[in-house]
Amino acid sequence: MKVGFFQFAPKFGEIQRNLDQILNAIEAFTGDLLVLPELALSGYQFASKTEVEALAQDRQSPIFQTLQSALHDRGLHVVLGFAECADGCLYNSAVLMGSEGIIGIYRKTHLFFEENLWFSPGNTGFQVWDIGGAKVGIMVCFDWFYPESARTLTVKGADILCHPSNLVLPFCPDAMVTRCLENRVFAVTANRIGQEERGGKPPLRFIGMSEVVAPNGSILHRAEASQSELYECEIDIAQARNKRINPYNDLLKDRQPQWYVGEGE
Ligand code: ACM
């Protein structure tokens, strides 16, 4: 199976321009699973809730039909971050699409910084979808800071963590090595590059460094901090399905959930 990411600099508010870049990447990609950044259609640094409302999409948006047409007969799946409006709420979401259209939508659970001003915390929970050849789960950017996100997806059977991101702090690319090692899963973190400075606020500089990490913690590839890149590589899903650490330890069987802090704590 071939997985990869498209690291680029979405331009704030220019949905058609950003979509065109995404469509070009889809066209050029020869793999099976392509992960795109968080909020890749709209850009990130909103100045008001009204701006989010103006740039948000619902499930019926023609953009998803356009994407579906681009995937037609390709056998390719994409994960794309977008601002979603649904049931009178705004969510920082990511859609999983195949040639059959929308397969699922994940709504970001752990909102970061000013996202809390515009978005509602996700109400989908962490879901895993079988795309044939691999089970994929989605977490969005700051979800990495809560190890429960990756662990929940792992316990639910994910082989690959699809991780659309708009990272501004430097820690995540290295932290994902640990997330992969402790869960024995692959991760594809698709971050963006560039800078946004909107609404009189301090600039946000996105750190790039999108990466594919293997279940043994090796970084199969890490992109540059400020260059666009469409990347793909072959991975062996069997590595994520072997949860044996050594002859005496099995990652999931050895968990002791009776001692872990959980729901309602
Ligand atoms: C982030 O969650 N966009 C840092």
Q: Which atom of ligand 1 lies closest to the CA of 172? A: 4
CB-facing half-sphere around the CA of 94: CA atoms within 13 A = 34
- The predicted structure's pLDDT at residue 136: 99
Amino acid (1-letter code) at residue 265: E
Strands (E) across the chain are located at 2-7, 33-35, 77-86, 89-98, 101-107, 128-130, 135-138, 160-164, 186-190, 195-196, 204-205, 211-213, 219-222, 229-234, 244-246, 249-250
Nearest partner of 144 among 124, 164, 116, 117, judged by Cα: 164
Number of domains within the chain: 1
Q: Which atom of ligand 1 lies closest to the CA of 166? A: 3
Nearest partner of 11 among 208, 194, 200, judged by Cα: 194
In a domain, 264, yes or no: no
- The predicted structure's pLDDT at residue 265: 53
Report how far residue 192's alpha carbon sits from residue 235's, in angstroms, rounded to the nearest whole number.
23
Please name the residue that has the structure tokens 């909020």: 39
In a domain, 165, yes or no: yes
Each of the 265 residues of the chain gets a pLDDT tens digit; together they read 999 999 999 999 999 999 999 999 999 999 999 999 999 999 999 999 999 999 999 999 999 999 999 999 899 999 999 999 999 999 999 999 999 999 999 999 999 999 999 999 999 999 999 999 999 999 999 999 999 999 999 999 999 999 999 999 999 999 999 999 999 999 999 999 999 999 999 999 999 999 999 999 999 999 999 999 999 999 999 999 999 999 999 999 999 999 998 765 5
Distance of CA 216 to the CA centre of its chain: 20
For residue 256, how far is its CA from the centre of ligand 1 (angstroms)? 31
In a domain, 127, yes or no: yes
Neighbour-count burial of 32, counting CB atoms closer than 10 A to its CB (0-12 exposed, 13-18 middle, 19+ buried): buried
Report how far residue 62's alpha carbon sits from residue 39's, in angstroms, rounded to the nearest whole number.
17
Torsion of CA 152, 52, 24, 5, to 10 degrees: -20
For residue 144, how far is its CA from the centre of ligand 1 (angstroms)? 9
- The predicted structure's pLDDT at residue 263: 63
In a domain, 265, yes or no: no
In a domain, 221, yes or no: yes
Q: Of the residues 42, 52, 109, 112, which should be mutated to test ligand 1's pocket, given the most ligand atoms within 8 Å of the CB?
A: 112
In a domain, 205, yes or no: yes
- Catalytic residue set: 38, 108, 141
140 CB neighbour count, 10 Å cutoff: 30
- The predicted structure's pLDDT at residue 112: 98
Give alpha helix (H) positions in 122-189: 147-155, 172-183
Contact status, residue 191 vs residue 212, Cβ threshold 8 Å: no
Question: Which secondary structure element, helix H or strand E, spans residue 30, and what is its range?
Answer: none
For residue 172, how far is its CA from the centre of ligand 1 (angstroms)? 10
In a domain, 93, yes or no: yes
- The predicted structure's pLDDT at residue 191: 98
Range(s) of the domain holding residue 134:
2-259
- The predicted structure's pLDDT at residue 262: 78
Residue 63: which CATH number?
3.60.110.10
